[in-house]
Structure 1
Amino acid sequence: MDQKKLALWLRAILAGVVLCSLVVYFVLVPLWGVRIAARHPEIDSGFWPWIVFIWCTAAPCYLCAFWGWRIISEIRRDNSFSHINAVYLRRIMKALLFDAAFFFAGNVVMVLLDWSELSVFVTAVLVCFLVVAVATAAAALSHLVEKAALLREENESII
């Protein structure tokens, strides 16, 4: 598979992920919130703060998608192992770690304000764990891409 075809596939996958996340953030989460608020009227006052909080956590995710698009552009140019891709991967890692910390802290605040229930908090902790796992993978990829870029530069300077 050539670089252009690979980049096309990666862009299609990234676009699909972004579209699915739009559905999750702006359709499924509000519907889930309405169901939870209907079952637990005592936390109904926290519905809109929760929805706005969840939407705020989407911003770093879309920023990561933008950086992912830039990485795919570099792959298309046959520049997969470059310093700029390592930088983008580090930015993705930092944004994901920020998002996980923000999401966890926000969930703690929501529980303390009695605007949440235990099952939502447990789910949030699991989501935070998954986000940290993806951030760790981005950090490892950043390190490997940086090393590969250095090796490529050394080989090009020898020739």
Structure 2
Amino acid sequence: MNQSSLSKWLKWIIVIVGLCGFLVYAFVIPSLGKALLSEYPEFAYCYLPWIILVWITGVPCYVVLVFGWRIAGNIGRDRSFCMENAKLLKWIAVLAAADTGFFFVMNIVYLFLNMNHPAIVLMSLIVLVVGIAISAVSAALSHLVRKAAELQEQSDLTI
């Protein structure tokens, strides 16, 4: 697979993930919330704060998709190992860690406000682990891409 076709594949994957995320954020989560409301109307006061929280946590996810699009574009231009990609991967790591931390902290806040259940907080640990893993992998890739970009610059200077 050459650089151009890899770039196209990555962009298609980013578009599909973005569309799936839109469906989940716009339709699936609100309808699940409304289904819970029909069974437990006493929790109606929790619906809007939770929907707002989920939508806020979606914003960094779409910023990451934009960064991924830019990285895919660089790959298509045969700039896989460039400082821009290293910086974008670092930002992805930071956004993943911040978004994950924000979601977990808000779970605890909602628990203290009696808008959450301890079992949901425990389940949010799965999101925490996945988010931290994404952050760690992105940080490691950023480091490796930065090192490769430095080596490539040195190699270009010696030729």
Classify the TM-score, shorter chain. Answer: over 0.9
SS at match of 2:116: coil
2:156 aligns with 156
Q: Offset of 1:58 from its aligned partner?
A: 0.6
Matched residues in 1 for 2:115 and 2:157: separation? Answer: 60
With over 3 angstroms needed to count, the CA separation of the structure-2 counterparts of 1:20 and 1:34, relative to structure 1, is same
1:140 aligns with 140
- Which sits farther off after the overlay, 59-68 or 112-121? 112-121
Instruction: Give the share of equivalent positions with the same residue, in percent.
Output: 36
Counterpart check, 1:124 vs 2:138 = no
Matched residues in 2 for 1:121 and 1:28: separation? Answer: 20
Q: Offset of 1:41 from its aligned partner?
A: 3.2
Q: Offset of 1:8 from its aligned partner?
A: 0.5
Matched residues in 2 for 1:40 and 1:129: separation? Answer: 29
TM-score by length of 1: 0.95
1:81 aligns with 81
Summarize deviations over 1:76-124 as a string: whole Å, max 9, x none: 1000000100000001111111101110111111111111223322222
Counterpart check, 1:25 vs 2:25 = yes
Count of residue pairs brought into register by the alignment: 159
Letter in 1 for 2:81: F
SS at match of 2:31: helix
Q: RMSD value over aligned CA atoms?
A: 1.2
2:66 aligns with 66
TM-score by length of 2: 0.95
Moved over 4 A (4+): none
Q: Offset of 1:10 from its aligned partner?
A: 0.5
Matched residues in 2 for 1:24 and 1:124: separation? Answer: 17
Structure 2 segments unaligned to the other structure (5+ residues): none
| 1:94-113 equivalence runs, <5 A | 94-113=94-113
SS at match of 2:90: helix
1:51 aligns with 51
Summarize deviations over 1:29-68 as a string: whole Å, max 9, x none: 1122123333333322110111011101111111111111
